Amino acid sequence: MEEQDWIFTFGYDHTHPVTGESLATNFVRVSAQTYVQARERMHESFGNRWSHQYESEYDAGVERFGLTEIEFLTREEITEQRLLRDVTEFINELSRPLWVWRAARGRLGVDPEHLPEFQRRSAATRLRNATAEIDAIVTRYVDIADRKLRSER
């Protein structure tokens, strides 16, 4: 049996599994041999967060309602893109405290004995605060990753 394209639409409360953006005016194309196989593929990627299945763009009202096609992502691709998004957020959030930490560490590493006492204390305080902030961010993201891994099992 030859594969055919099946069209799936979304409702107003459905969101993209990676970006979180509304899918209300979008559709996705799934290639499968049967109606049931297409539903199974869709369910693997979007769970039950989609609206209707159609045999053609015309039946789905793509042109009539001005729907925009989005790329169909497999469960593995969704997981990879979520991980990439999470790592990017993690790195962005760490950038400021790391910059403060490096600056304070560099200030102390030059020759702390030649620094006035108030500058030594100030650099040490910034170093301590930045270290605590980095630790809190890392701990939060490790907890998030752990919960996600448990929920996907």
Per-10-residue mean pLDDT, the chain, length 153: 94 89 95 96 91 96 96 84 80 78 67 65 78 83 76 67
CA 108 to chain centre: 37
Give the residue ranges of DSSP H helices in the chain. 35-46, 57-60, 62-65, 75-110, 117-151
- The residue to which tokens 């490790």 are assigned: 142
Looking at residue 3, its pLDDT comes to 93
CA distance 145 to 94: 16
Looking at residue 51, its pLDDT comes to 95
How is the chain split into domains, by residue range?
4-73, 76-151
Residue 101 near residue 131, CB atoms below 8 Å: yes
End-to-end, the C-alpha distance of the chain in Å comes to 33
Looking at residue 29, its pLDDT comes to 97
Looking at residue 7, its pLDDT comes to 97
Residue 21 near residue 15, CB atoms below 8 Å: yes
